[in-house]
Amino acid sequence: MSITNLEQLFQDKIDAETKIEPRDWMPDAYRKTNIRQISQHAHSEVVGMLPEGNWISRAPTLKRKAILLAKVQDEGGHGLYLYSAAETLGMSRDEMIADLLSGKAKYSSIFNYPAITWADMGAIGWLVDGAAILNQVMLCRTSYGPYARAMVRICKEESFHQRQGFDILLSLSRGTDEQKAMCQDSINRWWWPSLMMFGPKDSESTNSDQSMKWKIKRKTNDELRQQFVDMIAEQIKTLGMRLPDDQLKWNENRKHYDYGEINWEEFWNVVKGNGPCNKQRLEARRKAHNDGAWVREAAKVHAEKKAAREKQAAA
Ligand code: FAQ
């Protein structure tokens, strides 16, 4: 069968909502786009453990500590499901991690901002996980089967993450003046970077058109961003805080909130590696990778010995 026919059959399957599985024929560009997106997503989960991991030992109560610990562990688990999903497309985990550590692979811009107060644990959970959920609920229906299935469990865990973040901010918003100020300050710092998580505006998104045709993405960057603004603009009322955007206003005609212009120069600067914590984050990952070398070596020796024993038994 010619490539053109194979591509048509492939698109027909996508249009009929049939999931694409690892052994199915797929255009090379579909495979590459999925490897790119899923591995970037996995890297984001793992690098995303760093800002919050740093606060586990400083959580204000035992209960908050246990919750934060569980959340950070969940993110590590998400990274593992996602690396496994990406591996089914033919790239090894070692290669993906090498690309992260060399700075070749991207991860979400949001994790290059510092978490400087306890309130940031609240803002990350509420805003960052909140943004991640909207994007990931859509990905539960993505066309590549292993990615879609990994997303189902991830979304359930992310909902708990968002609730715990909101709960931290709710406590602070009902606390002393100092706690209220801390709460507002963290919302001020995390709001705009959270909006950037959805990626460049649609007119500048290089991958969206093709990814929408292949149903890898089901909603555009701007559609998801708007959904997020509408959700948060309502939820913040419960906190009695404000979003740092003078242009935020309900638009009765559009039935959506209008909001101000994102600083795209800042976004691209962070994506290019020049954000406040890019270097620190990669150094932390490189150190963790080097410190863990003995585990990988031990696992390799164990696997080799096991294979040798099995070979001997079979002989
Ligand atoms: N940061 O053409 P598009 C989480 C890049 S998980 C850095 O629109 P696309 C959980 C993009 O890669 C958060 N780079 O790209 C958690 C592309 O460059 P490339 C991560 C970005 O792929 C919470 C270029 O710009 N979630 O937070 C960003 O169609 C708390 C042009 O952009 C996912 O990864 C960015 N924000 O759409 C963990 C979800 N945005 O690759 C711990 C899956 C764009 O061509 C603690 N990913 N770029 O060189 C996606 O849905 C998509 O990849 C988008 C971007 C929507 C992120």
Interval 144-171: pLDDT, tens = 999 999 999 899 999 999 999 999 999 9
Residue of 56, 195, 182 whose CA lies nearest to 113: 195
**Cβ contact 132:231 at 8 Å:** no
For the chain, what percent of residues have pLDDT higher than 70?
100
Quickly state the pLDDT bin for 4 (edges 50, 70, 90).
confident
Does the Cβ of 128 fall within 6 Å of ligand 1?
yes
Tell me the pTM.
0.96
Give distance in angstroms: CA of 199 to centre of ligand 1. Answer: 6
Q: Whose CA is nearest to atom 11 of ligand 1?
A: 199
DSSP one-letter string for 98-149: HHHHHT-S---GGGGS---STHHHHHIIIIIHHHHHHHHHHHTT-SBHHHHH
Q: Is the pLDDT reported for residue 15 higher than 90? A: yes
Per-residue pLDDT at 2 exceeds 90: no
pLDDT digits (tens, 9 = 90+) for 221-268: 999 999 999 999 999 999 999 999 999 999 999 999 999 999 999 999
Q: How far apart are the first and last CA of the chain?
A: 43
Pocket test for ligand 1, best of 206, 274, 285 (most atoms within 8 A of CB): 206
Q: How confident is the model at residue 69 (pLDDT cuts 50, 70, 90)?
A: very high
- Estimate the share of the chain in helix, then strand, then coil, as percent rounded to the nearest 5: 70, 5, 25
- Closest atom of ligand 1 to 199 CA is 40
Is there an atom of ligand 1 within 6 Å of 130 CB? no
CB of residue 48 inside a 6 A radius of ligand 1: yes
Q: What is the pLDDT of residues 89-144, one digit of tens each?
A: 999 999 999 999 999 999 999 999 999 999 999 999 999 999 999 999 999 999 99
Does 207 contact ligand 1 (Cβ within 6 A)? yes
Pocket lining: 162 vs ligand 1, CB cutoff 6 Å:
no
- Residue 1 pLDDT exceeds 80: no
Beta pairing partners, 257: 250
What's the pLDDT at 85? 97
Q: Whose CA is nearest to atom 15 of ligand 1?
A: 207
pLDDT score at 37:
98
Tally Cβ neighbours within 10 Å of residue 10.
19
Taking phi over 0 as left and psi of -120 to 50 as alpha, with beta for the rest, 117 belongs to: beta
Is 218 a pocket residue for ligand 1 (Cβ < 6 Å)?
no
